[in-house]
Amino acid sequence: MSAAVTVAERIGSLVPEMIVFGGSVVVSVTGLSPKRSVRAATPFLSVLTLIAALVALTKGWGGSTTAGLLLPGVGPFARGLILLMGVGGAALAAGLVDRRYEEAVARGVAPFDPIRVVRGEFFAFMLLSICGALLIPGSPDLIWLFLALELTSLPTYIMVAMSRGTRRAQEAAVKYFFLGALSTAILVYGFALIYGSTGSLQLTEIRAALAQQSAMGGIDAVGTIGLLLVAIALCFKLAAAPMHFYAPDVYEGAAAPVTGFLSFLPKMAGFSALLLVVDAAGWGGMSNAGNGLPPALQATLWMVTVLTMTLGNVGALLQRSAKRMLAYSSIAHSGYMLMAIVAGPELGLPALLLYLLAYGVNNNAIFGALSGIERNGQEVEKVEDLAGLARRHPGAATWLAVGSASLMGMPPFLGFWAKLVLFIAVVKSGHTPLVVIAAVNSVVSVLYYLRLAGVPILAPSGAAAEGVVKTPSAGPRLAAVVFGVGVLVLPLFMNRLVSQIEKAAGVPQKMGAAAQPDALQAASR
């Protein structure tokens, strides 16, 4: 009977995921409808599905059982963030797929053929990927975690290929797939070694076994190598070194809305998984002065953090393509967020969750602006082609500037407070050299973010920029406005925001107002 109750509780905790999965089935059918109005409603139905799942989660229908879970408080916050950013991703992609064919059908030039339309499949894959990401924070064991990661990743390979009918998109999808397969192989081998070391697939049992080994002199070589392999494999999801090489080519090859989706969702999934793995490895075993990770894993994360932020910022500095620049920017921000893992859970976890929120909001604002404009039916890819954008499309230029300034860390935007809280957490944890390196990297990032923000507003309009027009779909521009306003408004509610994040992280007393550093208290007012 108790087993049945446990199964019922587990199923009850998956209500948001079931809603998203059901929505994926619905949109795959509506996308094949012979009625053009029904097919056109597919993006709207996707947004409604995600909003319904978010409402279900906020109403407590996402389950309250925490038995057998690591970091149970993080799950609701992470799932809510995934759904919120998923709404932005679906809005960005409205009007992307089947656009030329639908126009031909509307003019009577081509007959409707359900075999030729892929809009339903595209949004079904998007919802399935979001569903996989939702399953990760509540993973009770390695098998669940592996399947959730694969459900997150596999649809994105197809989305990249479907997003643009060009050889560049297909080449990007192939690169993405093969490097993803390599990371999966490394991940599975790491899981196998962890199982061999601990004798269990349950994450709570793995944590107990590794803690026992640590108490008896340290985690054995098999377990340590397994943890290192898993961390390296998850770097692929994060676009972190040494698994970052695919990001520029894939981000450039995919359509801008898909690039925006890839810049956040896999990263969020990767950090959700990494948090579970490091917590099982003893991450919460010490206080603010550090963490209980094995020395080899701690040193590896330290080196990965430095390499990732440095390679990302230097690479972005050399780019002329806006999407390649943002790809390297995404790499750099993964490096910043990895600092929170190095810092330990008591200060690092709230800082990481706040940074993920800020990064997602900023990215949707920027990619909404980029996805809402085009030239001759094609994306505006080079930064120089955005020159003079403010005179013809002031909204797009404004949200590009706001998002770029926030990612740069300019006050008073949301990104500034997120970066400030993160840096304070790392300093408090005793890793001041890491903050110095991050600060130098942040200075470097100013150079390319100023280009992305300044060229549309300050540079004189060139011949290539004259033909820039709005895309037919208003979805991307609406997303840019909503998330751009979020960049400006959320800092006004920093006190409530920080309190909710502290509650999710499970450290309300130690990161509360009485114990916050002065800068964090200022951010919270």
Structure tokens at 482: 């909503």
Q: C-alpha 488: how far from its chain's center?
A: 20
157 vs 467: which has the higher pLDDT: 157
461: DSSP letter: P
Tell me how many domains the chain contains.
Answer: 1
Looking at the DSSP bridge assignments, the partners of residue 470 are 373
Structure tokens at 342: 């190095």
Q: Where does the pLDDT of residue 388 fall: very low under 50, low under 70, confident under 90, or very high at 90 and above?
A: confident
CA distance linking residue 360 with residue 418, whole number of Å? 12
Quick check: pTM over 0.85? yes
Whose structure tokens read 């080449």? 171
Assigned domain for 493 exists: yes
Q: What is the pLDDT of residue 62?
A: 65
Single-letter code of the amino acid located at 104: A
Whose structure tokens read 């200075």? 443
pLDDT tens per residue, range 166-223? 888 899 999 999 999 999 999 999 999 999 999 999 999 999 999 999 888 889 999 9
Q: What is the pLDDT of residue 2?
A: 40
Span 359-374, mean pLDDT?
Answer: 95
Reduced to 3 states (helix: H, G, I; strand: E, B; else coil), residue 470 is strand
pLDDT tens per residue, range 86-132? 999 999 999 888 888 888 888 888 888 888 899 999 999 999 999 99
Where does residue 50 rank: exposed (0-12), middle (13-18), buried (19+ CB within 10 A)?
buried
- Residues near 241 by Cβ (< 8 Å), separated by ≥ 6? 235, 304, 307, 308, 311, 331, 335
Q: Where does the pLDDT of residue 373 fall: very low under 50, low under 70, confident under 90, or very high at 90 and above?
A: very high
Phi, psi of 398, rounded to the nearest 5 degrees: -65, -50
Assigned domain for 412 exists: yes
Q: Where does the pLDDT of residue 513 fall: very low under 50, low under 70, confident under 90, or very high at 90 and above?
A: very low
CA distance linking residue 125 with residue 161, whole number of Å? 12
Assigned domain for 320 exists: yes
In Å, the largest CA–CA distance within the chain is 76
Number of CB atoms found within 10 A of residue 232's CB: 19
Assigned domain for 354 exists: yes
CA distance linking residue 500 with residue 316, whole number of Å? 33
Q: What is the pLDDT of residue 512?
A: 40
Assigned domain for 242 exists: no
- Examine the pLDDT at 3 and tell me if it is beyond 60: no
Half-sphere exposure of 171 (CA within 13 A, CB side): 7
CA-CA-CA-CA torsion sign (336, 330, 153, 132): positive
pLDDT tens per residue, range 279-308? 999 887 643 344 678 999 999 999 999 999
Assigned domain for 103 exists: no
pLDDT tens per residue, range 318-357? 999 999 999 999 999 999 999 999 998 888 999 999 999 9
Q: What is the pLDDT of residue 64?
A: 57
Assigned domain for 414 exists: yes
Domain extent at residue 473: 288-525
- Examine the pLDDT at 464 and tell me if it is beyond 70: no
Span 459-475, mean pLDDT?
Answer: 82
Q: What is the pLDDT of residue 237?
A: 94
* Beta carbons of 353 and 505 less than 8 angstroms apart: yes
